[in-house]
Amino acid sequence: MQLGTGTADLVLPGLDVAAPVSEPHPGHWIERGPQKRLMVFAGRSHPELAQRIVEQLGVELGEVELSTFANGETYCRYDESIRGSDLFIVQTGCGEIDRNLMELFLMIQAARLGSAKRITAVIPLYPYARQDRKAKPREPISARFVADALQVAGADRILTMDLHAGQIQGFFSIPVDHMTALPLFARHFRDLGLHGDGMVSVSPDAGRAKQAVRFAEMIDSEFAIMHKARPDHDIAAVAEIAGRVRGKKAILGDDVIMTGGTMMANVRALEEAGVEEVWIYATHGLFCADSLESFDGHDLIKGVVVTDTVPIDPLTKPDKLTVLPVSGLLAETIMNVFADDSVSAIFGGENQLF
């Protein structure tokens, strides 16, 4: 029974009607706003490249403590929280290769134990890439072992550039984002006017033939392929050249220059075949020993172009050497991985080229 008043209705105790309440139904998840957090850390192999990458991304390098004990062991500790982050570790395959590899393994495992949500190893130059098969009995397949170790350490993804061989991607059971510097080289040579008739794109061996053909399309030129024999490590001998090179300007490309023995053998073969001048490009310019001096002292070689995937000392860089930056390309790829966008779209779907 309700008693009316002039202003409000009163309800007697015990006679009030409860308002309907909707029963909650449990779901399969708890909805929460997106809170992805990109963090970039650098190993000690090439901190300058990592700094240029984060400048392109508009972030700061993460704080990590890396040191070497007196007995040669590596110590690693992240100096800030990485829990739930999309973490990228930049470490390239140069310098003290084995130390840098061990450092990368420890950084990945520390990130895993620190509860990073996803760990991407950014390895512009993949170490041990040339040991991708058994060429002789009782040899290891070292590139495969490195792939296994990266996955055991806890890497969720690999980001690398211009692998020595395509089958290295098959060594992984995690995603491998492969980039190529070929468009950078094509743009550079076109800016120099080295394109069209009178030019020839030369592959140093059959394994790089597809890249040479694609590069020829980029600069509107013909292409040629060299047949190479390798009697020993870091020693190459050119047997013959398939293609028309006489009277042309040759652009000779490879994935890496180490001792320069292969390139110099190719240059001598091109010289004998009647090439007017030679330009050389390689994504990774390691230049072991005095290989740079051999390039600089050869009159037929007009220029050598590499990228900064490995550090190049500007004080000892000869005039013939040009270094193209890849930090913008790496930063764009990292951002696409972070945003779950396509990586191959950056390269027009042609980032394998094997």
**In terms of pLDDT, which residue wins out, 15 or 215?**
215
**In terms of pLDDT, which residue wins out, 293 or 103?**
103
Q: ∠ at Cα 263 (139, 230), nearest 5°?
A: 35
pLDDT recorded at residue 180: 94
Which pair of tokens denotes residue 250? Answer: 């040759």
Task: State what percent of residues in the chain have pLDDT above 70.
Answer: 86
Task: State what percent of residues in the chain have pLDDT above 90.
Answer: 71
- DSSP secondary structure letter of residue 200: E
Instruction: Indicate whether 99 pLDDT > 90.
Output: yes
Q: pLDDT class for 313, splitting at 50, 70, 90?
A: confident
Q: Read off the pLDDT of each residue in 313-332 and give the average, rounded to a whole number.
A: 92
Domains detected in the chain: 38-180+330-347 (3.40.50.2020), 182-324 (3.40.50.2020)
Helix/strand/coil for 329: helix
pTM (predicted TM-score) = 0.87
Q: Read off the pLDDT of each residue in 167-177 and give the average, rounded to a whole number.
A: 95
**Residues annotated as part of the active site:** 228
pLDDT recorded at residue 80: 96
One-letter identity of residue 193: G
- Cα torsion 96, 110, 150, 142 to 10°: value is 30
